[in-house]
Amino acid sequence: MIDFYAVIPLLIVVLAGGAAMLAEAFRQPGERMPIAGLGVIGLVGAAAASCFLWNTDAQSYGAIRADNFALFINLILCGIGILTMIFSNDVVEREGLPAGEYYALTLFAIAGMMMMAAATDLLVIFIALEILSLAVYVLTGLRRSSAAGAEAAFKYFLLGAFSSAFFLYGIAFAFAISGSTRLDVIGTAIASGPGGTLALLAVGLLAIGFAFKVSAVPFHMWTPDAYEGAPTIVTAFMSTAVKAAAFGAFVRVFLSTLEPLQGHWVPVLSVISALTMILGTVVGVLQSNIKRMLAYSSIAHAGYLLLGIVAANASGKAAVLFYLAVYAIANLGALGIVALLGTADHEHDQLRDFAGLWQSRPGLAGLMTIFLLSLGGFPPTAGFIGKWYIFAAAVQEGHYWLAIIGVLSSVVSVFFYLRIVVMMYMTEDAAGPVRPPISATAMAALAVAMIVTFYLGILPTRVIDLALQSIQTIY
């Protein structure tokens, strides 16, 4: 029985997903079911279970390990999931998305993500990756009437399946050198005889697989297309949750199992990190579609997170976890607002659509500003502290050039975040789009996200310490 403790949070989310499916199956035509509430209950349960498991280091058959690192990511994922559910309650019906499928797939994707962050066996990581990916591919193409949606889903699927083949090939080579897919066994095998051809092939192929999932340059091509074509609420979900889960597994595999080969992968990842930061920012400046702009911004943020992995000293590792939480809240808030303003006929995702938001919806414009400033890294928001810790770690480790590129690209990125802000405050609303009303619950959720953004920006020590403690459990 004790072997099952580690999977309890995951099981709760799976149950909630199954319940969402059943609710849809037994729904009378025209009846409106509170499926979002079901999802919130499941996710709160999973978060509570994660809190109970804290410090217990429960393990399930050597394949899933609920150490504090996995639980920290679980909590981030539950937070993302709860916010998504609350926003979806407003959005799903208005956009005409199939409710049962939407909620069930979102919950199953979250279960896959929790599994990915907690897996200590490469094969389980692969299966978790597929569980979350398959759910997210379908979510991307959920608007069946939209040609852009179908195209986005297919491009995402094609490159995702392509990259998972590389990932799997990497697992095969890791299996060849150690005779097992378990991370601890592979780690021992690599530590005893580092540097063989097979080991290097395994590292390279695994890195390609992860780089695709976190959308690092040059494996980022799917990101803008998938994020633009997907329903906005799905973009908000996948740009944050998939990244959190993929970086969780990335950190676990590269910083603990493959650490003996650090001399080989650090140079490669530093180049990838630099390119990712530069391309994400520079191309982001050129965009006039908000979803595409935030897609490039999410590419740039993947670059900052990679920089944290490259500069893997004690504070750098904790900074990755902290930054994941910071980025998730700010990005989910910003894209959530875009989703809440959209309707079935008008997506509200062009820059011009935001003209005069300050006059008609001052509260919403204020919240959007705060989330965008946090993404841009302004003090006293959380984004500033997150970037500060990552760049400080990079400088400590002597990666001066990367830190300089990081600082410069975040300065440039402020330009495109401020473009939206300028549009909201300083442009008149000339015959602007009809903006739908936003429920009090969604506003309350946004307000909570804003409070967390300021809390992490002003009093970050407690969460940073928590991140430091939890990252130590993966060794």
Partner 1 sequence: MISLNHYLILSGILFAIGTAGVFLRRNVITILLSIEIMLNAVNLTFVAVGRYLNTVDGQIITFFVMTVAAAEAAVGLALVIALFRHRETLSPDAFTALKW
Residue 113 Cβ vs partner 1, minimum distance, rounded to whole Å: 16
Q: Does 148 bind partner 1 (CB under 8 A)?
A: yes
Between CA 19 and CA 25, with CA 22 as vertex, the angle to 5 degrees is 155
The CA-based angle 108-113-119, given to 5 degrees, is 120
- Given a contact cutoff of 8 angstroms between Cβ atoms, the answer to whether 19 and 96 are in contact is no
Interface pattern 212-251 for partner 1 (x via CB under 8 A): ------------xx--xx----------------------
| Residue from 1, 2, 25, 147 in contact with partner 1 (CB under 8 A) | 147
- The rounded radius of gyration (Å) of the Cα atoms in the chain is 21
Tokens in use for 6? 């580690």
The answer to whether residue 130 forms part of the interface with partner 1 (CB under 8 A) is yes
Q: Could you tell me the two tokens for 165?
A: 């083949």
144 touches partner 1 (CB under 8 A)? yes
Residues between 163 and 182 that touch partner 1 (CB under 8 A): 164-165, 168-169, 171-173, 175-176, 179-181
94 touches partner 1 (CB under 8 A): no
User: How far is Cα 272 from Cα 400, in angstroms, rounded to an integer?
Assistant: 15
Q: Is 119 helix (H, G, I), strand (E, B) or coil?
A: strand
Nearest to 416 by CA among 303, 302, 286: 286
134 near partner 1, judged by CB under 8 A:
yes
Structure tokens, 288: 């006039």
Q: Is the Cβ–Cβ distance between 6 and 66 less than 8 Å?
A: yes
Binding mask 302-321 for partner 1 (x = CB under 8 A): --------------------
Q: Pick the closest to residue 272 from 328, 323, 225, 207 (CA basis).
A: 207
Instruction: Select from 46-54, 55-63, 108-116, 148-156 the region that touches partner 1 (CB under 8 A).
Output: 148-156
Helices 147-178 & 197-213 angle (0-180, nearest 10): 160
Nearer to partner 1, 254 or 296 (CB): 296
Query: Total residues contacting partner 1 (rule CB under 8 A)?
Result: 39
From the CB of 126, what's the least distance to partner 1, in Å?
7
Task: Determine if 157 is a binding residue for partner 1 (CB under 8 A).
Answer: yes
Interaction between residue 158 and partner 1 (CB under 8 A): yes
Separate counts of helices (H) and strands (E) for the chain: 19, 2
> Which of 5, 137, 237, 327 touches partner 1 by CB under 8 A?
137
Min separation Cβ 234 and partner 1, Å = 15
Phi, psi of 87 (to 5 degrees): -65, -40
By beta-carbon proximity to partner 1, the closer residue of 350 and 359 is 350
Contact positions vs partner 1 (CB under 8 A): 123, 126-127, 130, 134, 137-138, 141, 144, 147-148, 150-155, 157-158, 161-162, 164-165, 168-169, 171-173, 175-176, 179-181, 224-225, 228-229, 283, 286
